[in-house]
Structure 1
Amino acid sequence: MKKVTFKKSAKGWMALQLLSPRKVTTGKTYFAVSCQLPVRLKPGKPGHGKKPDFVKAYVHVPDYTGVCPPSRGVTAKGLIKTFRPTVVKYRWVHNGRVVGKGTVKVIRDKRISYTFKPNESHKGWVALEIVSPRYGRSAHNAYQVTCEEPEPPAPPVETAASAAAPEDYTGACPISRVFTGTVSVNRIEPGGTTVQYRWMGPGFQGPTETLTFAEGDPLTKNVSHSVEVTASGPVQRWIEISSPNPAVSATAQTQVECQPLQITILNIQRSIDLSACGTPGYGPAITFSSPVQVNGPVRVEYRWDFNEGELTVPGSFETTGPSTVTVSHRLESSPLTARGLMRVRLMITSHDVSGRVLDFTPPPCPAS
């Protein structure tokens, strides 16, 4: 093959000649070349040599399994790609029905989406169609929806309460009486359950208190309430729950009978310890004790007096209710315990109460 370039119009002929193994010449072939000026086409018109825009769509629809309709829906994700910046018109087609249209300028690529909320199980498809440019390529993707039955809702949190009263009381007042109670829930919510409650009574409304039940806690918790009683009569209390649901316990009652304060020294007892003997002129060790009976909460101050003030020893005790408290003092081996007659007196110094006196003669220490 021989290529010839013409710079102007021409006419002529050509033939092919073989030189070996023998000389052979083909027939002539005539030609004519007519050179003309190039035709300038307007830009943008077909045939001007510019490559057409390349537009292609891609789409993906995930399968779904769960409760219908899904709270966030099912989202078809689309991607449009172009060869150069291009304004693209597109539309979404869902199971043959146009469900959305749009126009977007795409520089290289653009992501778009379409979301739907199915109400039942089915199989379907979603297409992302390129409307213009007309030579764009559309995309199509199938999916499957499997609807499941929703879990039944958890039952509401329900609370309950109970109250119990202390035993009836007879004695000195004021006196503190402690009511006890329980607050229960039927279940604990994830993250915990908070219960608000308060103690109530005739003419009494306590402050709102809070109990928190954390996951893993027991469903019942104990509570208590102290009442300072100053007069005789019944004392009633109950528990009122305000949240998460209203509830009221049964009423608990205790009876209080207030009496004048009574403090009684019952007697004075002694205990001799001869093993403490050993020093000449010393007597044995002696321990003196006395039960003191009170009929209510009180602080008692007292004093031991030996031999009309030769030796005094103070002391005190405190009670929260009726009680019998034993007070004592030990006299170590000394010349005081070696004398003949000894007088021991126990006196209450904080209240107007009769004291107790014991007169006795300590035994002598054994001769060595």
Structure 2
Amino acid sequence: MKSVVLARKAAAFGASTAVLAAMVTGLMATSAQAATTTSAAKATPATAAKAKTRVSVSTPKASSGDYQGSCPVDVKLSSTIKVKLSGKTELAYRWLHGDGSKGKVKVVKLKGHGTKSIKVSETLSFKDDVKGWEAIQVLGPRKVTSKKGYFSVSCVDIGNSHNDKDVSISARAWADPDSYVGPCTPGDKIDFVGLIKTDQPTWVRYRWVLNGDVVDYGRVKVWNTRKVAFGLSPRHSQRGSAVLEILGPDRTVSNRAYYKVWCKSEAPSDRVSVSNLVTGTNNDGCKVGAHATLSSTGPARVRWVWSVNGDSVLRGESVFRDRGSETIDLPDRVLTGDATKGGKVTLTVFGPNNSDSITQSYAACEAPKPNVTVSSVAVAGQRNDMCADKRGPGVDFKATISSSAPTTVKYYWVVNGKREMPDLERQVNGSVDVTWGIGGTHGASETTGSVQLVVFSPDNVSSGATTFAVTCPPKA
């Protein structure tokens, strides 16, 4: 009759058929085991001495203390029993279930000296929703009962969708700001922000733990990423950390977000500040650099951090013996990805009494300006057909225009100090030869003068003047 009642209790508790059978069997075995233990105690005088043996047992911990997902599911509970030995003894223990039933008594023989740790575990299978607990009861060599280890199972019918085993969840946390100095009046002084990221849409249960205490919790739908936050309104100076714990459908814990609070009724007399931030984009290699002025109203050791688009890139420290200022430099740093399109540079400083920061935008990288050069002009040939018209020969000239990058070059020729028309242009990618020609001098057998090539875009550059003298060939 008693086993039937236990079966009903266990069914309400949510255990599977296998666990029900184990619970019933354990109850039947318990009476016999207890009787055996009692008889042994009466028959063995040494038991009184062993009763003084020091025994401790940890609170059982569930492998999934707060499970949400598809069922059936196995929940493994484990605990550690410590026994201080001085010779031989027998460790007898059993599991206590949340429905009031008791497991089978198990006996482990121990010998030696000093403290020995025995790890024990039990696996339960559930196919329905359940909330319960498990505990360990040590019967010998000394009777000790552990605290209750709680767990819960929430079965969700997810069909062909994801479950606990194929949802990937990550969490990151930070304090904004991570330090506060000033009056601790009502109102949030530090905000803790967490970023939850999943590889597929899912409902996520979470909680915030501040210095070991649960201070906030909730459940949100996350499609890809989502932020959750809570605020701290301190009443006294303190420091510590907060973590974002993900409870389901998968379990994970964020990094620790450290913070510091200094409650002061008045602002400290010695303070640090930062000003005059100047940024500069170097298009040669796409880099950004910056410099700013760090000041202190008195002796101070000041930590400073340079950030580019929110990412810390350089840290350092400055020491002031007295009031003063100094320049803090951020050497050129190579930009990649979206950072090449422009962004922000921030310098944050932390003094003994306060912190300060300043932010300035920087320009997007531009393609390097082409470097254009021009060679000297050379005579490429002469046209003697003009000699028959009692003119000097025509003259052809050639020069080479070079560019370090593809560009459109605009140029003109100058002959004997006069600008030739029209203005010309060529697409140059590397080097290209350009030519020009002039007619012969009237009433002369010789053509002389000077010539040069002038580029006026994208650079202003000239070949320099080249003199020439070309004579008609002798008549046959």
TM-score normalised to the size of structure 2?
Answer: 0.25
Larger radius of gyration: 1
Q: Which has the higher helix share?
A: 2
Normalising by the residue count of structure 1, what TM-score does the alignment of the two structures yield? Answer: 0.31
